[in-house]
């Protein structure tokens, strides 16, 4: 088993290097440069002052050296935990800007991913053996999986926020409040969090329900289920085996879907002006902030790789056949 995980770590390490290299290159392929945007934003019109400020900022951001040296400096700084200085929030470090927004994104992603996976699999498993539920889950599931995250977010904001007035439609908390450890502030946070969470949860729910429903039906019609039934095994036991076998592909699918859900979360945050990585990413692109963009994408890459690795670990622990295969490969 140790060899299996060492091989996985090597693959993830290579993936990380490639992803970080692309992360470095993509912002620099964008038209324009961050220093010019800063000078324009600060309305520097004097030629001599503009040249002096450009030289200063080029030095601050490390843009006064060739591209290959910028790449090496980027890796050296990365290993020291230095992600650079943000252009958008100058002179704040990128790490502090990203860490301020990260809790909001995690508060959306983790509950929506895990709850939609658990509830969707439970609904799908029940629909596979309940005709009434199947006739309702299947059509609704197909509709939900086809709904874009942005469209559903806009619909929820319009209906539940503007028409009904049940929830706020912008921000992470009320602008009149200051963050504090009180029940009032916590309730306000939840009220602002609920609609973005609900839009992510609903879209992901349908896909998991359809997938589990189809997998359970396949397992219930397989040879081992028919054999157990012929031997007189209890129906509950057969369904338990079917569910355990059907959930394995769903674990793999959970890791593969993470990138899609993260993309949906970023778009949803923009719709609701939620102060997470999505809104921060939009500001980074608008202000051509290479360094903030690199920092955000770096955190996303690390999160996706970590989540996939955890899914690999869970898969090995859940599937006895995988464990036996790994033990046999080591002997």
DSSP 3-state assignment of 303? helix
Tell me if 289 sits within 8 A of 86, measured CB to CB: yes
Whether residue 85 has pLDDT greater than 50: yes
**Which tens digit of pLDDT belongs to each residue from 273-315?**
888 888 888 888 877 778 888 888 888 888 778 877 777 777 6
Find how far residue 203's CA is from the centre of its chain: 14
Q: Which of 60, 8, 26 is nearest to 294 (CA)?
A: 26
Q: Where residue 330 falls among pLDDT bands split at 50, 70, 90?
A: very low
- What are the tens digits of pLDDT across the range 118-145? 888 888 888 877 777 777 777 777 787 7
Asked if omega into 73 is within 30° of 0 (cis), the reply is no
Mean pLDDT of the chain: 79
CA distance linking residue 137 with residue 127, whole number of Å:
7
**Structure tokens of 199?**
């839009």
Give the containing element (helix H, strand E) for 270. helix 235-271
pLDDT at 318: 66
Indicate the range of 54-58, 100-104, 225-229, 244-248 predicted with least confidence.
54-58
Query: Cα(148)–Cα(132) distance, rounded to whole angstroms?
Result: 27
Contacts 24+ apart (CB under 8 A), 26-31: 27/288, 27/290, 27/293, 27/294, 28/67, 28/290, 30/288, 30/290
What is residue 246's predicted lDDT score, i.e. its pLDDT?
Answer: 80
Kindly report, residue by residue over 270-283, the tens digit of the pLDDT. Answer: 888 888 888 888 88
Task: Classify burial at 213, counting beta carbons within 10 Å of its beta carbon; exposed 0-12, middle 13-18, buried 19 or more.
Answer: buried
pTM here is 0.75
Judge whether residue 331 has pLDDT over 50: no
* Residue 53 in this model has a pLDDT that exceeds 80: no
pLDDT digits over 218-268, tens only? 887 788 788 788 888 787 888 887 887 787 778 777 766 766 677 777 788
């Amino acid at each position: 088993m140790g060899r299996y995980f060492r091989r996985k770590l090597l693959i993830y390490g290579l993936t990380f290097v490639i992803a970080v290299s692309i992360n470095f290159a993509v912002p620099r392929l964008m038209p324009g440069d961050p220093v010019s945007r800063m000078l324009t934003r600060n309305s520097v019109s004097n030629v001599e002052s503009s040249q002096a400020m450009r030289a200063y900022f080029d030095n601050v951001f490390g843009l006064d050296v060739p591209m290959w040296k910028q790449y090496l400096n980027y890796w050296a700084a990365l290993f020291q935990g230095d992600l650079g200085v943000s252009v958008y929030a100058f002179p704040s470090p990128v790490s502090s800007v990203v860490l301020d927004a990260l809790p909001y994104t995690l508060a959306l992603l983790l509950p929506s991913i895990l709850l939609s996976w658990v509830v969707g699999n439970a609904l799908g498993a029940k629909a596979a053996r309940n005709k009434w539920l199947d006739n309702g889950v299947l059509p609704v599931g197909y509709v939900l999986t086809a709904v874009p995250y942005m469209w559903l977010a806009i619909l929820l904001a319009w209906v539940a926020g503007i028409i009904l007035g049940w929830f706020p439609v912008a921000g992470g908390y009320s602008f009149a409040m200051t963050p504090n450890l009180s029940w009032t502030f916590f309730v306000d946070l939840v009220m602002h969090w609920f609609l973005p969470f609900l839009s992510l949860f609903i879209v992901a729910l349908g896909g998991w329900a359809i997938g589990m429903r189809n997998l359970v039906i396949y397992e219930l019609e397989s040879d081992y289920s028919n054999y157990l039934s012929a031997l007189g095994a209890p129906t509950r036991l057969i369904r338990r085996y079917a569910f355990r076998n059907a959930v394995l592909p769903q674990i793999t699918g959970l890791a593969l879907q993470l990138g899609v859900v993260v993309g949906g979360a970023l778009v949803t945050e923009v719709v609701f002006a939620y102060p997470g990585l999505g809104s921060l990413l939009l500001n980074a692109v608008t202000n051509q902030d290479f360094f903030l963009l690199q920092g955000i994408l770096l955190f996303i890459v690390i999160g996706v790789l970590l989540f996939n690795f955890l899914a690999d670990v869970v898969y090995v622990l859940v599937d006895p056949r995988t464990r036996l295969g790994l033990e046999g490969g080591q002997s």
